[in-house]
Structure 1
């Protein structure tokens, strides 16, 4: 019971201090982040990582490590969030060993669809907070090129007779159209949001904002003519559509004319992507002992469910819970990184939560923790909230405070 009280106190501060000032207090056993990095995010089947095998992506992500010295011998546990990778424990464990982590470093994989990377961070953070480990690495990784999603497995009639259960297996495009119809979100609103996202990402890339968070990946690529494999180094995102305008997006045909009002298109929905990210977490005490720069304090994660047919609005359910757990409000948050699976859900989330446009995905389509913390430091903001919808009808959100 005493340990539970201590954990609660370190999330929300003492009873005398509330809100953001409580979160800014520093304690030796705070869970802190000393590294938040990612790979270039590349278009599936067409981009720079299309020929990289899943274990190669694991290897490159594991090889990227904190400075000013190699912390691999000190990492006690690795948690990998991955959705598509078949038999994921094999590439996770073998790549960790090949990357130089000692045999004593434990590895596990976790899958909660689009929140899997955040769940890895949450798992490691909770283990540190509970005193089970001092240092852990959280990773998120998937290759759509190598492991395309084949959809849900067949359902027993004993399950599918329940409408909500049946809805869990429907296509994501169907859920996007449901959101647009149910909440009156127009094609024009979705195209405007998507155009702004591309424009912000193009501006951020041109300004070099992503350079601090991206780790170059050296992987195999096949020659288009000969099929011969050669090693190449991929250094930047290749899915940002330069010169995108709302008028241009308006010309793209509907992706799902069979559903709803047919407002979802290939221009206002997210691309299929290959990529990875990693976050190194430890106690503040350990970070100070090792002389590592602390980027942020991990505060809390909230996960909740909702109707599967409108799964895209999960952030509107999860974010208020996370803010309440942290003892802060929307006004206290400097940056929201909310996934843009479909513009319909992003528009709804912004509208429902009253998030100012300048605070939502300021560098374009959300890349979550690595991009959010990088931008928080660049802009000298204080609080980051990351959030995403989750297939089958869930939402997740987490709160971080810049140190």
Structure 2
């Protein structure tokens, strides 16, 4: 079996949706410009040697439809030779593509693949424009197949006894860690600057154009506190505990890695960053989908031949504080190594992008900590009752 290495990894900043910094930037543009930046960092790579562009997207319709991966390939690489395929495993889509790219290279089916994800929740809302449940299936006792994610977060909070106070404290800490990381420029090296051209009509009825460049995640809130969070009303259930403040933010963003065979790495004299040791997805009861990592993490560790204490850094997607805390408690995860720079409650959760985004963040933080030869993990819950986890070995 061949060895597959990750040799480049970049992401955009994450903007709030639907009225944030990327509300005038299409998802295919975000993705294409990220890939363009990556290619500039590899001037000796003949782009026609790239075998595929695999793009994760959770709501593939409208501006994210039409096999958006092929459009992103054309726009980002500016050659016609490289195909593209769009992949959907909801919130795990971005890391699913990295798993697919790695497996294809290991099997000898490819030598060089761009993998990642893109999502604009400003353009395409949660659930898309016309979600259509099968009402006969729901009526047969399976209504949780179609539950909104907030209801599942409430179910997790109730079943695993996660208090409102604990959720708010977790959310507050996410913001504080993210703000500290931003103040220390810990995300600077991984973020691709994105220029946004905005055209609008002012109060005098005149057409106005302006441009600005985005280099910083928009979500972290310096003014928040546990007292402020405690005043927010539950939004998903009467008398519930899940609020907008202890849930992940709707977001826009893109993130990609370049996966390459060992033979090609040596030929081009490229220093690899990391390798995906193993990746796994698992199914759980849809009603408590947020607990998905509790099944996915042991599964991926077993496949990788590792123990939980072999992992030195973890990026756990904070879909909701309730499910994040439930996962950490059920698996007895070391809080000191989980989301050291904050998580999705502060930094945002651009759905199909998130798995790749968290991978990019993991590599960069491991580099800053000189964790060569150590293992890191990216994990998340996934809608309709799934969990996913990937274990990486950091190289350089």
TM-score if structure 1 supplies the norm length? 0.88
* Distance in 2 of aligned mates of 1:325 and 1:227: 58
Map 1:91-130 onto structure 2 (within 5 A): 91-130=68-107
| SS of 2:86 mapped into structure 1 | strand
What are the superposed Cα offsets for residues 77-133 of structure 1, whole Å, 9 maximum, x if unpaired?
110001123163454323322333432211100111101111111111111011000
What are the superposed Cα offsets for residues 199-257 of structure 1, whole Å, 9 maximum, x if unpaired?
11000011000011100112322447356443332111111111432233112222224
Task: Note closer, same or farther for the CA distance 1:384–1:146 as it changes in structure 2 (3 Å cut).
Answer: same
Is 1:50–1:146's contact at 8 Å kept on the other side of the alignment?
A: yes
Aligned to 1:26: none
Aligned to 1:203: 180
Aligned to 1:138: 115
* Distance in 1 of aligned mates of 2:133 and 2:60: 22
Aligned to 1:314: 292
Aligned to 2:348: none
Aligned to 1:372: 362
* Distance in 2 of aligned mates of 1:224 and 1:210: 34
1:233 and 2:207 correspond = no
1:47 and 2:37 correspond = no
1:188 and 2:202 correspond = no
Aligned to 2:326: 348
Map 1:14-163 onto structure 2 (within 5 A): 29-66=2-39, 67-69=41-43, 71=45, 72-86=47-61, 88-150=65-127, 153-163=131-141
- Shift in Å, 1:192: 1.1
Task: Note closer, same or farther for the CA distance 1:121–1:273 as it changes in structure 2 (3 Å cut).
Answer: same
What are the superposed Cα offsets for residues 186-209 of structure 1, whole Å, 9 maximum, x if unpaired?
011111111111111000011000
| SS of 1:355 mapped into structure 2 | coil
Task: Structure 2: state its 5+ residue gaps.
Answer: 345-356
Task: Structure 1: state its 5+ residue gaps.
Answer: 1-6, 8-28
Task: Note closer, same or farther for the CA distance 1:90–1:329 as it changes in structure 2 (3 Å cut).
Answer: closer
Find the partner of 1:280 among 251, 258, 272.
Answer: 258
TM-score if structure 2 supplies the norm length? 0.89
Is 2:73–2:83's contact at 8 Å kept on the other side of the alignment?
A: no
| SS of 1:279 mapped into structure 2 | strand
